[in-house]
Amino acid sequence: MIRFEHVFKRYPERGEALTNISFEMKVGEMAFLTGHSGAGKSTLLRLIGLLERPTRGQILVNGRNLATLPRRQIPYHRRQVGMIFQDHRLLPDRSIFDNVALPLVVTGLGQKEVGRRVRAALDQVGLLKRERATPVALSGGEQQRVGIARAIVGRPPVLLADEPTGNLDPDLSREIFELFERFQYVGVTLLIATHDLALVNSMQHRTFTLDDGRLLNDTGRW
């Protein structure tokens, strides 16, 4: 589903942020991406979502070669990749419903179908009753769940999460990770960047470890 072949990413100001990364993830696989701050976790995820392009190497997502994907196709690629951020990236002046509906609205889906799918997504994250609220009225954990609902509402085959529990206490974090496991059961491929090692170790999933841009350790087989 996701395949990296000798990927390098260099920032002119910093030098190499990712060095010779190669790995492959199968459909329905769930993996953690760990490493110290500045190791390159966010950069790796941004490459998959085509928020950035690699300096060298090839990335294939769902059979698509991102290197040869024309710019006009980028939006359609992003619809296949749900992204969750530590800072949620919600629109503060829109209701929870509108925030979650955004990925569907931009595809031009009919209003009725949008309503149905948004409520299904909100139900999955346990926020069905808060659809009229605005993000500021929600707690950090709830806001993160809105971000998750927005990422899954379009039913993308790939889900990326960048330190989704960075600001949450251990109980809430575990809840969120268990939510991710449920998505894995329905066939979604998940890659979750986190430095919550305790939680990673308590769950039996493949784990990539980055160290200063190099893939140090991959507990999975490929």
Ligand X SMILES: Nc1ncnc2c1ncn2[C@@H]1O[C@H](COP(=O)(O)OP(=O)(O)O)[C@@H](O)[C@H]1O
Interface with other proteins, residue 40, by CB under 8 A: no
CA distance 40 to 48: 13
Interface with Mg ion, residue 42, by CB under 5 A: yes
Of the candidates 4, 153, 157, the residue with the CA atom closest to the CA atom of residue 77: 157
| Among other proteins, Mg ion, ligand X, none, partner that 222 touches (CB below 5 to 8 angstroms by kind) | none
Interface with other proteins, residue 75, by CB under 8 A: yes
Range list of β-strands (E), the chain? 2-11, 15-25, 30-35, 56-61, 64-65, 81-85, 158-162, 189-193, 206-211, 214-218
> What is the smallest separation between the CB atom of 46 and Mg ion, expressed in angstroms?
9
Of the candidates 158, 205, 211, the residue with the CA atom closest to the CA atom of residue 21: 211
Q: Say what angle helices 111-124 and 140-152 make with each other, to 10 degrees.
A: 130
Interface with other proteins, residue 213, by CB under 8 A: no
> What is the smallest separation between the CB atom of 25 and ligand X, expressed in angstroms?
18
Residues 83-142 that bind other proteins (CB under 8 A): 83, 89, 91, 102-103, 106-110
Among 34, 42, 143, 209, binds ligand X (CB under 6 A): 42
Of the candidates 103, 75, 73, 59, the residue with the CA atom closest to the CA atom of residue 191: 59
At 219, phi and psi to the nearest 5? -70, -15
> What is the smallest separation between the CB atom of 172 and other proteins, expressed in angstroms?
23
Interface with other proteins, residue 52, by CB under 8 A: yes
Q: Which two tokens stand for residue 14?
A: 């910093």
Among 8, 51, 64, 199, binds other proteins (CB under 8 A): 51
Interface with ligand X, residue 11, by CB under 6 A: yes
Interface with ligand X, residue 215, by CB under 6 A: no
Of the candidates 166, 211, 220, the residue with the CA atom closest to the CA atom of residue 40: 211
Interface with other proteins, residue 27, by CB under 8 A: yes
Q: Which residues form the interface with Mg ion (CB under 5 A)? A: 42
Q: Which residues form the interface with other proteins (CB under 8 A)? A: 27, 49-53, 71-72, 74-79, 83, 89, 91, 102-103, 106-110, 150, 154-155, 157, 187
